[in-house]
Structure 1
Amino acid sequence: MNQPAAQRSAWTLRPESRILVASNRPRLASTFVEHLRREIPSVPVLLMTAPSATELEAAFTQELADTSTPVAALVVLGGDGMVHIGANVLAGTEVPAPVPLGIVPVGSGDDFVRSLGTRQSRRQRRDMAAAAAKLANSLRTGSLREVDAMQVSGAWGSRIVMGIVSVGVDAIVNQRANALRFPPGQAKYVVGLAREFRSLKPRTYRIEATDAAGSVTQWSTTAWLASVANGQYLGGGMRIIPDALLDDGLLDLGIIRPLNLREFATLFPRIFSGRHASRDAMTNQRVTQVALETPNMTAFGDGEALGPAPVSVTVIPRAISLLV
């Protein structure tokens, strides 16, 4: 996948500012912070931890609200869950001034980074000295890439999602995979799917979609999967929505019709490369907003449980500036 060229911005790293780093990998994070402090000795680097994602998000928000010492960047070290936290702090709350997001991807899935086209080998991802040097260079040069985000709302509240919102079989499998401690990454999702497949049934959806021209279409359908995508990947490398772009100001609504076991066996291996999208089992359309209603279903976003359907998903163009 070709990575768009980084944008040079008017944003600059100021010596009187500070850098916030958060991670759920304390040993790797400590090593990374040590290297980053050597790379940029003039700027304080604060390593933040908390017992839960909710508390970490709250701590980030509190730090950003303190305008006595500006925040130069928010850096998350981990997987898609950490990206989810960073995005909700920067795009889901009132931030006093624009703050870029840095990502050090050391998760088992890293689907958002896959969509960016920047995922490296496991050995490269574990090299914290190289990661710190790369981030420091981006900070010095103001090398940024602006990407879209999704605002997902329901009776339970609202969250920012960067990758894919799942409201179908993918959500059920995601829930199963999250409960497994082993195996890691993509294999966990495959195991979850294998355990759930025979009990999975097509679902009835009520859908309302708004296209780029503002035209609204409403319909009902029965489907095996319904996903709203900003990125292409879920489940640790399944390229479920291969046409999705992170910076086109649009979302992709992907729907897979009901499949029998034979059809699924043919389609599933193609999902990893995205070749399934060329078959008649899947439809895809570009939208700016979509509402999905289906009974007894928890929506997932970035691999995290959001809340019960119905949900409304709206694109937020250029919501996040990434350090690249």
Structure 2
Amino acid sequence: MRDISLLVNPTSGKGRAREAARRAAERLRRDGASVTELVGTDAAHAARLAEHAVASGTDALVACGGDGIMNIALRAVVGTATPIGLIPAGTGNDYARMLGLHGSEPEDAARVVLAGVTSAIDAGRCGEQWFGTVLSCGFDAKVNERTNRMSWPRGKWRYNLAVVAELAKLRPLDYRLELDGESWETSAVLVAIGNGPSYGGGMRICPDASCVDGWFDVTVIGPVAARRLIRLLPTVYDGRHVEYSQVTTFRARRVSVATPGVTAYGDGEPLARLPLTAECVPGAVNVLVPAEPG
């Protein structure tokens, strides 16, 4: 990997991404790589920069930041042979967890890029939109929506306050679901479609999801009172929530979800208003990953 495009979200991780990008670029250049830094003024500009870099033949598109900038990188390379890499510097960092990079220092993540070990991972497609970790379609999507509207506080506290605010308004929604052609109607507070296991900074909502098996894992939480959900939520961090009777899990390659008034969020970013259909596309993206031990 000698011609590297480094896509940076300078505001990610309370501004940590800018410093992480500097350190990663220094490591990459020291080892002989040519690095072009791409810093968008907003998400749309960042997407254009990423797409241009891929079209121009960059050896790798490396995202520096969190899950949002990684989603932009994924969309830029899907359908091409260009691999994406990651310098984790966000708040949630669920892509980093999924790819074995969580907690990596920028220099260590840069070495992963230079090593050039790739793995083809699955991605979720919803029309022309894509996601790599989890698609949120219920209470979790509403929390994401509220978090994005809040300017204070920063980091995880903002997400936690959004959870509290949405719990006060919690009510089950009537869903129509279709999994691989089998459809039914159900009442639920949460529907999550996992290409990877976690969202929200390590919440393992789909604990058994794998991005290399060609399947989605789907988690549905049925009607529960707010006080019950408050007890259930902490268990999501280690995946024990699936043991509750109110939680049902499925596996499918194609999932359709419909309910009024909900915007689905993929990788923590607004994706589309429901109804929508998500399809698991096996091996859709090449990703630079740590070498296997030994």
TM-score, length of structure 2 as denominator length: 0.91
The equivalent of 2:106 in structure 1 is 128
Question: Do the aligned partners of 2:24 and 2:87 also contact (CA within 8 Å) in 1?
Answer: no
Residues 258-310 of structure 1, C-alpha deviations (whole Å, 9 max, x = no match): 10133223212211111011111111111000111111111111000112111
SS of the residue corresponding to residue 140 of structure 2 reads helix
CA distance in 2, matches of 1:19, 1:111: 23
CA distance in 2, matches of 1:222, 1:318: 33
SS of the residue corresponding to residue 90 of structure 2 reads coil
The equivalent of 1:51 in structure 2 is 41
Match of 1:35 among 27, 42, 45: 27
Counterpart AA for 2:198: Y
Deviation of 1:233 (Å):
0.9
Question: Do the aligned partners of 2:257 and 2:277 also contact (CA within 8 Å) in 1?
Answer: yes
SS of the residue corresponding to residue 124 of structure 2 reads strand
CA distance in 1, matches of 2:155, 2:253: 30
- 1:245 has 2:232 as partner: no
CA distance in 2, matches of 1:314, 1:151: 5
Superposition map of 1:69-218 within 5 A:
70-91=57-78, 95=80, 98-120=81-103, 125=104, 127-136=105-114, 138-139=115-116, 143-153=117-127, 158-210=128-180, 216-218=181-183
Question: Do the aligned partners of 2:101 and 2:109 also contact (CA within 8 Å) in 1?
Answer: no
Question: Do the aligned partners of 2:53 and 2:61 also contact (CA within 8 Å) in 1?
Answer: no
CA distance in 2, matches of 1:285, 1:167: 15
Deviation of 1:182 (Å):
3.9
Counterpart AA for 2:72: I
SS of the residue corresponding to residue 59 of structure 2 reads strand
Deviation of 1:221 (Å):
0.7
CA distance in 2, matches of 1:262, 1:296: 24
Question: Do the aligned partners of 1:185 and 1:236 also contact (CA within 8 Å) in 2?
Answer: no
Q: CA RMSD in A?
A: 1.6
Residues 126-163 of structure 1, C-alpha deviations (whole Å, 9 max, x = no match): x4333323422x23xxx11221100013xxxx211001
Question: Do the aligned partners of 2:217 and 2:252 also contact (CA within 8 Å) in 1?
Answer: yes
Superposition map of 1:6-21 within 5 A:
13=1, 18-21=3-6
Question: Do the aligned partners of 1:164 and 1:301 also contact (CA within 8 Å) in 2?
Answer: yes
- 1:62 has 2:52 as partner: yes
Report how many residues are paired.
Answer: 282
Question: Do the aligned partners of 1:150 and 1:315 also contact (CA within 8 Å) in 2?
Answer: yes
Q: 1:129 to 1:118 in 2, by over 3 A?
A: closer
Match of 1:235 among 182, 197, 200: 200
SS of the residue corresponding to residue 71 of structure 1 reads coil
CA distance in 2, matches of 1:115, 1:130: 17
Question: Do the aligned partners of 1:228 and 1:251 also contact (CA within 8 Å) in 2?
Answer: yes
CA distance in 2, matches of 1:200, 1:262: 10
Deviation of 1:196 (Å):
1.4
Structure 2's unaligned 5+ residue stretches are 11-17, 290-294
CA distance in 2, matches of 1:280, 1:57: 42
Counterpart AA for 1:189: Y
Percentage identity across aligned positions?
32
Q: 1:133 to 1:112 in 2, by over 3 A?
A: closer
Counterpart AA for 2:173: R
Question: Do the aligned partners of 2:134 and 2:266 also contact (CA within 8 Å) in 1?
Answer: yes
Deviation of 1:312 (Å):
0.7
Deviation of 1:58 (Å):
1.2
SS of the residue corresponding to residue 268 of structure 1 reads helix
Question: Do the aligned partners of 1:108 and 1:184 also contact (CA within 8 Å) in 2?
Answer: no
Structure 1's unaligned 5+ residue stretches are 1-12, 211-215
Residues 196-233 of structure 1, C-alpha deviations (whole Å, 9 max, x = no match): 112121111111110xxxxx201111101011110111
CA distance in 2, matches of 1:132, 1:34: 9
CA distance in 1, matches of 2:7, 2:175: 38
CA distance in 2, matches of 1:50, 1:223: 38
